Every structure is written in structure tokens, then in C-alpha cells.
Amino acid sequence: MGDSKNIRVAVRVRPLNRRELEQNQRNIIKVLDHTTLMFDPDEDEDEFFFHGMKQTHRDITKRVKKKLTMEYDEVFDAEANNEAIFETCTKPLVQSVMDGYNCSVFVYGATGAGKTFTMLGNEECRGITFLTMKELFRQIDSLSTSRKFDIGISYLEVYNELVMNLLTKTGPLKLREDSSGVVVSGLILKQIHNAEELLDLLALGNQNRTQHPTDANAESSRSHAIFQVHIRMVDKSTGQKRTVKLSMIDLAGSERAASTKGIGIRFKEGANINKSLLALGNCINKLADGLKHIPYRDSNLTRILKDSLGGNCQTLMIANVSPSSLTYDDTYNTLKYASRAKKIRTTLRQNIIPTNVPKEFLVKKVNEQAAEIDRLKARLKDLEEQKTAAVAAVAAAKSASTGFSVPSEALLNTWRSRIDQCYATVKKAQEHYFNLQSKEKILNLRSKLKAQVESIKKIVTLDGKHLNADIARLEASIDRYNKQVTRQKDEMNRWAKRYKDAMKSLEALRQEIRSSDLATLLGFYLRAKDSEIDANKSNYKKNHVMKINMIYTDENKQLEKIMALSAEIVQQDYLLLRSMGRLDNVTLEKMEQMARLDIYTRGVRFSDDDDHNELMQEVNITDTSFDEITNLSDCADFPAPNGLDMETDCGVKRLNDIDESESENERKKAKEDHNKQLEFKRPKALRPLNLQAKSVSVKSTISRKTPTKTQKTTTITQFKVPKLIVSNPPKPSSAKKRQKVANSSTSSNDTSDTSDGPDENGGIGNSTFCIEGDKDATSSLFSNVLVGSNVDPHVLKKGNVISKVTLTLNKENRKFSPKRVGKSPRPLLRTNSRPHTSAASVINRYRMMKAGATAGPSSSSAVPGNSGDVKSTAYDSDSERKIRNIRK
Ligand SMILES: Nc1ncnc2c1ncn2[C@@H]1O[C@H](COP(=O)(O)OP(=O)(O)OP(=O)(O)O)[C@@H](O)[C@H]1O
């Protein structure tokens, strides 16, 4: 397979010619750097005059500049000469040609854009054809010792779709296709031997080329000129042959027929040029789009260029443009073409021709090479033997001086491979076992989390309508997890057994090594291997913990959402209860709990801090439960190592004998410690996680009174919620009124609400509540609820024992509640029995109350533990203040 390469595209901007300078045309190309240009940039001098006066506003008749930034492989500005183009663009192609690749260069552009100048140049400034050929001959000269070259050139033109030979002025010639591509029938190549010979031939060809003056160019070429160099190279040593082709194509101007103002023959000429260039454009577009069918056959030009565009060729396109706005459209089209051509990919193959080298020669060559290989092999063997002998001599010398015998390399290798094999088995079993264990724990965790979601669902369900389906779904997935765990249990046991067996074999090998002569040496090797195993183990554990962490992170995100919603609900309910006079000490206590949790999450706490411990108990986080999830243990009843201490037994022991200063006890202790270090820890027995989801038994105990008339009283019949019990003994003095209030405010059998009735200061009464019930999951769920802004700080202050919360509702306040202004006062009992406010209005009222509280000491709020003092208004709303002002 050949390499695939994009067509390289260079853009050359020629200098403004005399005509353009005279007409003082605008410059439509700005070369930004050696690969980028801007088409139709803003003019530097963008001034607009009207009736000789410079206008401050823009000339609205002016076309908006395109300001297109375009990128190519190379961009040359007006300063660049042909030498520069050759150095950057075609010199590298010569090397490719010498390597056996076909190469093509074609110049494209409108008439007078500088195509012929680029290709042929003039006497002072030679074109790239000459320069490239010069380089080609230079390289041929340098390679002449190893290769034989034959060079033949052809110079053709395609004029009005006819192929003519420019060197012999004959034609038209026919095109035909064979296995090597499109060939021109009857074309005879002209052999040349140096670049100077070429100059004459090019001059001759150009004389024969069809040229006619046009408006745009006095020497306009009206045909496509194709200059080709055919090179045959033969490798002198191998006889390998290559034939390569370098094509340099000077296309006719791509301008619109109208711009040349041709009539008659010129018009036909222009139409044919346009036809072939249109066909070329179609091919470029289709190739750029990667289409399979390319219409090369639409014109002779595209047939000849077939190989250069989409075949086995390294292709360079040089798009020539004039910077003048006179050729605005032509330049724009050329640049667009160039951009499209940049996308074309061609495939490159070296052109190697099967040789006719005699078989005997090849056999001789193969035999020679085989003999050389044998000789080199023998030499290598010799050198290896010498090395082994040298190592053995050094070892012998060492053992003679130290008394320590160096083992042979072969023996060491045998041991090493046995150890490696043993550890490889351990490693494999360990990997499987730990991965399965991790999988099991993750499944257990997921199952546990699902159970948690299930219990949350049961609590937060509104009507139980979708609950059963949700619960069924959750339980199905829990079941699925459990089944997976059960399924992989067998596999895990199998791997646990293999792991154990592998460790037993390893242990046996260790024993063997311990009793061998190489114990010291191999002991180090074993320790290195042990470290590998340990590192692997740590890696598995790390991966496991990371997975767990990811799961928890996801879970936390869900919980955060629930928390945020719950916090809002709790806040609203709290304010509602407060406005209804139903806040009790138990609720406040829970609020305090929440606030404490919140403090915990924000600040740094020490583990021995009492609050911290209390809190950990509250949220039920225990070290063991976490350990159960995150810890991966070794197999159960793994055999305890028995005298594995290679270092102590074999190496250190010897050293210790020398070290007289060390006491016997210390040595013993160190040995014990070391043994402990080497021991594989006996793992804790695997404790399967409890997969049973805690089912929450919920029983309806209250019917909740909703704050608005439209909302119906909802009775949850399936699940248990905290039970509200009112525990305030009625005062005998106001028993009658209290009874009245109680009757009107109680709407459920389980919920009772008693009021002390109006006191001597005109209050309706003080109500105290407490909530009895199981400490259930809800309390921990709402642990992050922010209540600080709604509850006075001293209420929630740590250590402030809230035994009773007394809230007093003022009769006046109720009578002149915002809704009742201007209406007849609502009966007291009705007001008491039906909360007259929505959650939102409660929040508003509360804000007002806060504002009132900060404004002055006159506004007061319910203070726990100070119920006796709080006998007047619990809050002071705007409307109430308004009414008081009216009265004044
Ligand atoms: N880079 C350049 N520097 C100086 N002169 C240039 C350059 N490019 C072109 N010219 C001059 O501009 C004129 C037109 O150039 P040229 O004949 O190469 O255009 P062309 O693209 O081949 O036109 P056509 O398609 O009509 O043959 C010539 O006189 C040429 O010398």
C-alpha cells in the first residue's frame, strides 16, 4: 500500500502591473504570513468624500469587504521570486522523484496572473521548470556511480481539446489508457543530458505554443502546456529499475470568457479553455469531496492530469493571482479552487519495475547473503561464549577472595524462571479474586443504596399512587444485584481456591529456596517479587475505593437535590406552624439538630470532639460499615507463612553473627518484627453485607390539615408518620374557652390542639406541642436544612434546653389580618380553626417580622424558656402597623 498525501497548494501573488498601477486599483490581497492571506481586506485609507468634503459617515454604496482569511501550504507575496518558489515548493519534489515517486506541478490562475512567468520566467529570472531540472541533473550526477539514468522529455499543449507536440509541432495526438495510466500515442521523448539543453527545448516549445494577446495579457497563452520529464533509473548493483515522471503543467487562463473580450476564434478558444478548466474544476471538487467517480474523461486536459490529481502522484498546485481589484472575481475563484484542491488526497507508490535480472545472479546473491548470515551467527556465538567465560572468571576470582561462591548464570536463570512462573500464577489469581471481590462489594453497595432510595421514596411519596410501581422497580433491581452476587459467588470461590493454591505453591518454593545455597541471592529476588504483589494489591484496593467514591459521589448529588427541596419544604412548614401557633419544643429540638449538622458540615471538627461523636452516631456512620464496603481482603484461611524470612535466615543472620555488639534480645525482637512484616495478614472472615432493605412500616396516624381551602385533606393510609400529641394540661380558669377553641381547631382524632384561651393581656392563648414518634430516617435526611435565618439564634444555641415553646396569638392581630382590612372582623373561632395564610405569605410576614425585630425592641418573638414574658404579639406585620397608625 502506498502513502496517502494531500495535494500541496501554494498561492503566489504577483506584483501590480503597469496597467493596474495606472488605474490605481485597490489591493484585494493582503499576505499575512507564509501560509495565510486575507482576501478583500479593509482598505487602509477608508475615507469617503462627497462634493469634495470628507464625510464622517460610511459610504453606504460601498460593498462590504469579505475579509476572508485563507490558509494554504505556502503563500508568496509580490516580493517572492522564482528562486524562492523553487526552493520551497519544487526542490523537495526532486528528491521524491529520485526516490521513485511520480510528481506533478501545475500552475493555475486567471490570464495575466503570472502562471507562465512562474513556470518559465525570463532571462533574468529563470522559471521553476528550469530550476527544477537543474536540481534534477545535479542529483543525477551525484548518484551516477550507483545508478544509471535515462532522461527523456516531452512538451505538449492541449489547445481546443487537441493534443499537440510542441517540440515537433505535430499533432493532434491521441490519448489512450494502459496499466501505467494515460499515455499519448506516438509521442517520442527527446533525450537530454543537462539543464542547458532543456532551455533550448523549452524556448522551441514556447515558440510553437498558441499565444494571442488579450486585454489582460499581451502574451496570453491560449493553451494548456504540459512539460514532462520521464526518468528511467537502474540500480547498478541490483539491476532494479524504476521509471518516474515529473510533469509541469502551465494551464491556460481560468478567466471568464467575457473578461478576454474574445469574438470568433478567440471566443471558441475561450469556450474550450473554459470547458477543460470546468472539467478540471469538477474533478477537483469531486476529489475533494472524496467521491468515487471522477469525470476525468470530460476533457483531454483532465485525462492527462488524471494521474497528477487522483493517482499515484505527489502533486503541487501553484495558484497565481493578481492583487488588483480589477480581477476581483477571477482572483476569488482561483483562491476558492485552491482551497478545494487542498483537500484532495493522492496515493503514492514507488514505481519499481520487475527486473529481468538472470536467475543465476539472484541465486548467487542469496547464497552470498546466507553465507554472511552464517558467519555473523558464528561470530555472535563466539562472543557470547567469551562473555560467559569472562563472567565465570570474575566470579571465581571473587569467590576466591571472599569465600562466597558465585552461582552459574544458567542455575540462576532456572531459579528465576521458576519464581517468575510461581508469582505469575499468584498474580493472575490475585487479580481475578480481588476484582470479583470488588464487584461483589459494589453490587452490595448499589443494592444498599437502592434500599435507601426505597425508604426515602416511601417517606416522601405524596399519594402512594406511583409508589407501588416505584418500589417494585427498586426491589427488582435489588433482586437483580443479589442474583448477580449469588451468580459470581461460585466464580469467586474458585478463584479464591486458586489464589490459595498459588500461595501454597509459592510457599513451597520459598521453603525450597531457603534450604538451597542460593537462599541469600534469591531472597532479594523474592522480596522484589513480593513488593510487586503488594503493589498490585494496593492498586486493586485503590481502584475499588475509587469506584466506591464515584458511586457515593453520584448518590450524594441525588441526595443534595432531595435535601435542597426538603429544606425548602421544612422551612415553609416551620413558618406555617409558627404562624399557626403550632410550633412545639420537639420540632424546635429537631431544628436545632439540623442546625448542628449544618455547623458540622461547614467547620473543622476534631474527632475527639463530643459534638462530632454525637453527630456521627446521629447520622449512623460507623467505621466498620465503611470498612465493610471499601476493604478488599485476602482469601480466608490463607496459610500463615512459615519461616519465609529469607533475609534473616540467609543473609541478615550471617551479618548478625559478625555484629557482636547487638544483644541477643534485640536481635530476637528485630527478627520477630521482620517476620511479622513478611507475613501475609490473615484476613478477616468475609462478612457478607446485609442485603435486606429496611422496610419502613408506615401507618396513617394523622390527617393533615392543609393551609388553604382548595387543597383537600390528604390521608396517607399506607405509611407511618410521626405522631403529634398535644401535652399541655388545661388551666382550670379558662377551661370553657379552651374547650371551645380545641373543638374548632381539632380536625383529627390523633391530633389534638388545646389552647389556654385569651389571657389577661388579650391574647387568644398559649399552645404547647410535642411530637412523639420513632426517630426515623427523615431526621437524618433533613440534617442539612438551613434554619439559621428563620429561627432566632438563641433558640438553637447549643445547650439551650427547650422544654416548651409557647406561642401566643394576639386577638387584635387576627382580627386585622391583611385580608380582613376594611371588612367586618372575622369570628375568633373561625380564625383559629382555619389558617388564614399561605406558605408564601407566611414567609413574607416572617420577613417583615424580622425587619421589625431589627428595627426596634417593640417587636418581639416567641422565646423558648421565657414563655411568661411573651404574652403579646408574636409578630408585627406591615398591615397591622398601618391599622395602628390609622387608629392613632
Ligand atoms: N511575479 C512576477 N514578477 C514580475 N512580473 C510578473 C510576475 N508574474 C507575472 N509577471 C508579468 O505579468 C505578465 C503576465 O504574466 P504571465 O504571462 O505569466 O501570465 P499568465 O498567467 O501566464 O497569463 P496567460 O494565462 O494569459 O498566459 C508578464 O509580463 C509577466 O512578466
Are 185 and 176 in contact, with CB atoms under 8 Å apart? yes
- Pocket flag, ligand 1, residue 757 (CB < 6 Å): no
- Residue 584 CB neighbour total at 10 angstroms: 23
- Pocket flag, ligand 1, residue 221 (CB < 6 Å): yes
Q: Where are the alpha helices (DSSP H) in 515-609?
A: 519-580, 585-602
Q: Which residues is 104 bridged to in the sheet?
A: 247, 315
**What are the DSSP calls for 18-47, one per residue?**
HHHHHTTPPB-EEE-SSSEEEESPPPSS--
**For 286, how many CA atoms within 13 A lie in the half-sphere containing its CB?**
16
Please, what is the end-to-end C-alpha distance for the chain in angstroms?
Answer: 103
Are 757 and 597 in contact, with CB atoms under 8 Å apart? no
So what's the pLDDT on residue 83? 93
Kindly provide the ipTM of the predicted complex, given to two decimals.
0.97
Residue burial 724-752, b: 16+ Cβ < 10 Å; e: rest: bebebeeeeebeebbebbbebbbeeeebe
Q: Ligand 1 center to residue 117 CA distance, Å?
A: 5
How far apart CA 736 and CA 757 sit, in angstroms, is: 9
- Pocket flag, ligand 1, residue 186 (CB < 6 Å): no
So what's the pLDDT on residue 575? 84
- Pocket flag, ligand 1, residue 109 (CB < 6 Å): yes
The helix or strand, by DSSP H or E, that contains position 243, with its residue range, turns out to be strand 241-250
- Pocket flag, ligand 1, residue 852 (CB < 6 Å): no
Ligand 1 pocket test target in 217, 261, 327 with most atoms within 8 Å of CB = 217
pLDDT lower than 50: segments of the chain: 1, 45, 257-261, 599-609, 612, 615-616, 618-623, 636-663, 674, 676-842, 853-884, 886-888
Q: Which atom of ligand 1 is nearest to the CA of 81?
A: 1
So what's the pLDDT on residue 117? 92
DSSP β-ladder status, 68-71 and 345-348: unpaired
Q: Which atom of ligand 1 is nearest to the CA of 17?
A: 12
Whether pTM > 0.80 for this model: the answer is no
- Pocket flag, ligand 1, residue 114 (CB < 6 Å): yes
Q: Which residues is 345 bridged to in the sheet?
A: 6
Q: Ligand 1 center to residue 199 CA distance, Å?
A: 19
**pLDDT digit string, tens, across residues 721-733:** 333 333 333 444 4
Q: Which residues is 108 bridged to in the sheet?
A: 319
How far apart CA 479 and CA 471 sit, in angstroms, is: 12
So what's the pLDDT on residue 172? 86
How far apart CA 255 and CA 236 sit, in angstroms, is: 49
In sequence order, what E strands does 269-313 have? none
Q: Ligand 1 center to residue 376 CA distance, Å?
A: 63
Does residue 295 have a cis bond before it (omega within 30 degrees)? no
Task: Give the CATH number of domain 3-43+62-211+223-353; options: 3.40.50.2300, 3.40.850.10, 3.30.365.10, 3.40.140.10.
Answer: 3.40.850.10
So what's the pLDDT on residue 217? 60
- Show me where the domains of the chain are located: 3-43+62-211+223-353, 412-596
How far apart CA 828 and CA 743 sit, in angstroms, is: 13
How far apart CA 728 and CA 807 sit, in angstroms, is: 13
Q: Ligand 1 center to residue 81 CA distance, Å?
A: 12
Give the cell for residue 469: 410501581
Are 214 and 270 in contact, with CB atoms under 8 Å apart? no
Tracing cell 449538622 back to the chain, one arrives at 597
Q: Is 704 exposed, middle or buried (0-12, 13-18, 19+ CB in 10 A)?
A: middle
- Pocket flag, ligand 1, residue 220 (CB < 6 Å): yes
- Residue 436 CB neighbour total at 10 angstroms: 18
So what's the pLDDT on residue 848? 57
